[in-house]
């Protein structure tokens, strides 16, 4: 073989590897930039397109292992670049989480490729496969639905109003469909696919975009009305460093900082004062210092206080049960309502399999596990002149669990209230991602969202997902101390279709995918035996 021929052969073999490498880098980079802090949301519509583009190229000689590896490597880059801040709490836990998410993302990409190769339309195949991945991410080992694709569109308010019907998962479906259309359009542009071959995906993507946008604009117009009533809240962000919160010698200082900040808001006449998650040091009902300082404060200002705190009780088996709770403490000092956190943070509030794998405690900052709450009912504020406001409480990252925020007949709500502490994560992308994800709950339930953070993004979001007020000090939203006093508009709205039906779209996608895999698998077996 001539030297020129060898050179050309090596060049032809190297070209696919270069294309795959570029696709991996582009997808990981654009997925990262689509989410906060950068929040360049239009990138979400093209971020997966490079991976889909190379997967649709039959000359690459793809099989399911290579397709899985493509998704896995791209996922590793994306999750590591977006979730690195979890390493502030546990580096080992962060690396394990990145691997688990990347493994499932690789399986989703491979599944989409497999369905496409067996005749399923690409925009349908990849969308169904991706929704299966998001279902696993939501529910596997209690779930971590953090970087669902739909969340990237948080700034695009008209496009995400349809979340009150299909939830954030419907928004994710739109993003995947557009990505597939972009990939097929790019293949048609470079001559690897005829324009007729991409016409269907492009038409579907454009139709979905038009319908989502039209519905969003109509919904925003119809819901733009004056509130029937309101409640004035004072949100307290004390910015207590995480290490200080766990120093019992600083308990009095922590309490006084919350009290002084709260006193400063009295001139703005709030109806209720709200402190963040575990703002009260120690176990409130047993810790005499915390109990007396807090009850003395509410009696002084004659305002009820909603606060996060820790408590314990003796369980039915005689063992102590610890709870991460939220309560309303009335001006009389009486606790009138209580909510216990139901969805605990893995490695943050409980250690999975700790009875069988006790060494896992060594890689976490906690000493023992909390007990999940059992009651979905939240807190009820009863004010003067018969004013009554029901709060649906979401503690810590419960606000990213769409199921937990659903307003039901058994647990009605006027306001979604998130008490959290993102102090572990400083000014990293974590608190900003958390705030963006949280805002979707307001749209899904058509209830305003109030967030009180120890440090993080303290804000008020209306039922359209618009940020009505946010705490900013010297241009900063995190690692600051301050107060936010504002009126929260209340509407006597009905429950949304999403509140009624939940993640029906997600389960339909999972069921449809399972059925397709079974049918196509059986057909493949029959073909292999010469019966089809």
Residues with catalytic roles? 277, 341, 396
Q: What DSSP string runs through 38-70?
A: T--GGGGGTSSHHHHHHHT-GGG---HHHHHHH
- For 111, 153, 252, 378, the CA distances from 437, given in Å and listed in that order, are 27, 10, 34, 21
Least Cα distance to 483 among 245, 308, 264, 252 occurs for 264
- For 173, 196, 299, 467, the CA distances from 200, given in Å and listed in that order, are 16, 8, 67, 37
The DSSP call for residue 427 is T
Q: What DSSP string runs through 109-154?
A: HHHHHHHHHTT--HHHHHHHHHHHHHHHHHHGGG----S-GGGGGT
| Contact by Cβ (8 Å): 349, 326 | no
Q: What is the sign of the dihedral through the CA atoms of 217, 222, 223 and 224?
A: positive
Distance of CA 481 to the CA centre of its chain: 25
Q: Which residues pair with 483 in a beta bridge?
A: 236
Distance of CA 247 to the CA centre of its chain: 30
Those residues whose C-beta lies under 8 Å from the C-beta of residue 276, and which sit 6 or more positions away, are 236, 237, 238, 307, 308, 419, 420, 421, 452, 453, 454, 458
Rounded Cα–Cα distance for residues 469 and 435 (Å): 13
To the nearest 10 degrees (0 to 180), the angle between helices 429-445 and 163-189 is: 120
Those residues whose C-beta lies under 8 Å from the C-beta of residue 3, and which sit 6 or more positions away, are none
Least Cα distance to 155 among 255, 75, 40, 280 occurs for 40
Q: Is 242 exposed, middle or buried (0-12, 13-18, 19+ CB in 10 A)?
A: middle
| Contact by Cβ (8 Å): 349, 366 | yes
């Amino acid at each position: 073989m001539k030297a020129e021929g060898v050179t050309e052969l090596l060049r032809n073999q190297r070209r696919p590897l270069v294309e795959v490498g570029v696709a991996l880098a582009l997808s990981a980079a654009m997925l990262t930039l689509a989410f906060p802090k950068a929040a360049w949301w239009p990138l979400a519509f093209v971020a997966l397109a490079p991976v889909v583009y190379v997967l649709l190229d039959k000359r690459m000689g793809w099989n399911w292992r290579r397709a899985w590896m493509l998704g896995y490597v791209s996922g590793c880059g994306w999750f590591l670049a977006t979730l690195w801040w979890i390493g502030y709490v546990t580096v080992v836990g962060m690396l394990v989480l990145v691997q688990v998410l990347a493994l499932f993302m690789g399986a989703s990409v491979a599944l989409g490729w497999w369905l496409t190769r067996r005749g399923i339309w690409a925009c349908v195949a990849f969308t169904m496969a991706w929704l299966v991945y998001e279902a696993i991410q939501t529910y596997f080992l209690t779930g971590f639905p953090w970087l669902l694709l739909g969340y990237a569109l948080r700034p695009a308010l008209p496009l995400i109003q349809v979340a009150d019907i299909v939830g954030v998962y419907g928004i994710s479906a739109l993003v995947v469909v557009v990505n597939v259309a972009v990939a097929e359009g790019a293949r048609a542009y470079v001559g690897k696919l005829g324009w007729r071959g991409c016409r269907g995906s492009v038409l579907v993507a454009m139709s979905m975009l038009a319908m989502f946008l039209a519905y969003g604009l109509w919904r925003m117009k119809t819901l733009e009305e004056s509130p029937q009533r309101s409640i004035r809240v004072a949100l307290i962000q004390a910015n207590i460093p995480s290490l200080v919160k766990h120093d019992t010698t600083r308990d009095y200082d922590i309490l006084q900082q919350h009290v002084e900040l709260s006193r400063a808001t009295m001139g703005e006449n709030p109806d209720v004062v709200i402190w963040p998650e575990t703002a009260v040091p120690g176990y409130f009902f047993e810790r005499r210092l915390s109990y007396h300082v807090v009850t003395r404060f509410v009696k002084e200002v004659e305002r009820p206080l909603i606060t996060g705190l820790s408590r314990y009780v003796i369980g039915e088996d005689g063992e102590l049960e610890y709870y991460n709770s939220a309560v309303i403490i009335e001006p009389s000092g009486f606790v009138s309502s209580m909510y216990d956190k139901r969805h605990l943070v893995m490695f943050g509030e409980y250690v999975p399999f700790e009875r069988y794998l006790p060494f896992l405690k060594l890689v976490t900052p906690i000493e023992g596990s909390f007990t999940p709450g059992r009651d979905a009912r939240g807190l009820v504020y009863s004010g003067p002149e018969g004013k009554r406001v029901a709060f649906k409480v979401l503690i810590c990252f419960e606000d990213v669990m769409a199921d937990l925020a659903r307003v039901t007949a058994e647990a009605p709500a006027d306001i979604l209230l998130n008490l959290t502490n993102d102090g572990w994560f400083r000014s990293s992308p974590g608190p900003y991602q958390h705030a963006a994800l949280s805002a979707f709950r307001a749209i899904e339930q058509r209830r305003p969202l109030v967030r009180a953070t120890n440090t993080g993004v303290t804000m008020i979001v209306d039922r359209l997902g618009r940020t009505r007020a946010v705490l900013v000090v010297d241009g900063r939203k995190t690692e600051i101390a301050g107060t936010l006093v504002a009126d929260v508009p209340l509407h006597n709205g009905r429950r949304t279709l999403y509140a009624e039906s939940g993640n029906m779209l997600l389960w339909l996608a999972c069921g449809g995918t399972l059925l397709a895999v079974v049918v196509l698998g059986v057909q493949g077996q029959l073909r292999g035996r010469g019966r089809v």
